[in-house]
Chain A
Amino acid sequence: MKINLRSILTGVLLVLFLSGIVFFIKRNRPVPAPLPPSVTGATTLKIKGPATAPVKLIEYSDFECPSCRNAQTDIQGLFKNYPGKIQLTFKHYPLTSHKWSLYAHQAAECMNRQGKFWPYQEKVYEKQAEWAPSNIPPVEILARYARELGANMDQFGKCMADVTVTHEIYAEKEEGNARQVNATPTFFLGEARFVGPKEMQERGENAIRKVLGLPPKPVPPKKQEPAAPAFPTGIPKQKVT
């Protein structure tokens, strides 16, 4: 009995001690103050949607990430379903595990300087299967996409070799790191965070609807129930004559 008591007491103390360590470290982690937009990355912000939109989403995304590509359909759906209500800000977050991602982000940022960011990002996602598996840096392919969208290729070429653009991309990634982003796509709606397309579908859209003062998204019926009552239980059916 004595051993059991000592053992139980040790267990309780261990749990308290270990939990204390976790909470203490988490609480005392340095949280960098948010930087003003002018120094947090690209000189021109990549914003889609009206400034007056009540829903302001921020997306940290990687062009080589398949989940980010999949999330684009959902984002387009949001713009379609809530016209004029959504504003999206794109932030670069090239993952180190994706070898050609930085090239794509550099190209997109170069297109941003020519005011063609959004069509270019659509193209890069759409053609991900073409450039991402490349064995050599896909500079030629990315330049082709830019040409197809009518970019000034002289400017584009110079910009692709410009290290300051790369630094700006990393500055945006660093800003994401400061917000504990480390998976893509990560969306922010105020302080609420939605990681991955699934989260965005399951919780994100309802959070948007809440901001817009709409009821939660109705859950689509999984299957047609043949014997579904036409009236709630307890209310007698009336004969239709």
Chain B
Amino acid sequence: MPGKSYKVLFLGRMFLGLVFAYSGFSKLMEPVENFQAAMAAYEVIPYAIVPFLAHVIPWIEFFFGAFLILGYLPRVSALVLAAMSLSFVVLILTTRIVTGVLPANCGCFGEGGLIHLKPLQVFIMDICNTFIGIRLAFLKSHPFSLAAFFREKSPSGT
């Protein structure tokens, strides 16, 4: 692989990892009810599963975001984050079609976080994240990663 695209993909990995790790972390620092309300604002999500999702999603984002930054299971982490990005794209699109309106704030980085994006902005970002995640999931080796470190340390080099 040419060095330049390798660097671009490394930056993509850092970007995707940081976005999700920060997103999860900022939600975990807040009372879960705040994220629950942000999710309930997307009226297409059945309310019965909102409390469960509000508890689980921040941890998934935080763990897999951190994993991707460190390069632990980078392909799996990238795939999980790509799937999450894609689900957010579908959620925004469905909400817009079904209800005709979108919440004022996407609720992606916790209500008290430093970043406040409108659903349209996050829609564009999630499309980009989906592509980055899919591309990273198909990348066989990841520079400066724990995966690469383990490979080098293994006796067979595989």
**Cβ of A196 to closest chain B Cβ, rounded Å:** 4
Contact yes or no, B33 A202, CB < 8 A: no
Q: A6-B150, A193-B33, A195-B36 are in contact. Are A182 and B112 (CB under 8 A)?
A: yes
**Cβ of B144 to closest chain A Cβ, rounded Å:** 16
Contact yes or no, B150 A7, CB < 8 A: yes
Interface size grouping (class) on chain A: 20 to 34
Residue tally, chain B, CB below 8 Å to A: 31
Query: Within the complex, which residue of B38, B40, B66 is in contact with A14, where a contact is CB–CB below 8 Å?
Result: B66
Overall SS of chain A's interface = helix
In chain B, positions 17-69 with a C-beta closer than 8 Å to chain A are 25, 28-31, 33-34, 36-38, 40-41, 47, 62-63, 66-67
Chain A residues whose C-beta falls within 8 Å of the C-beta of B155 in the assembled complex: 2
Contact yes or no, B33 A22, CB < 8 A: no
In chain B, positions 71-109 with a C-beta closer than 8 Å to chain A are 72-73, 104-105
Chain A residues whose C-beta falls within 8 Å of the C-beta of B36 in the assembled complex: 195, 199
Most buried by A among B30, B33, B116, B146: B33
Chain A residues whose C-beta falls within 8 Å of the C-beta of B63 in the assembled complex: 14-15, 18
Contact yes or no, A199 B37, CB < 8 A: yes
The 4 closest A-B pairs by CB, nearest first: A195-B37, A196-B37, A182-B112, A182-B111
Interface residues, chain B, with chain A CB atoms under 8 Å away: 25, 28-31, 33-34, 36-38, 40-41, 47, 62-63, 66-67, 70, 72-73, 104-105, 110-112, 116, 146, 150, 153-155
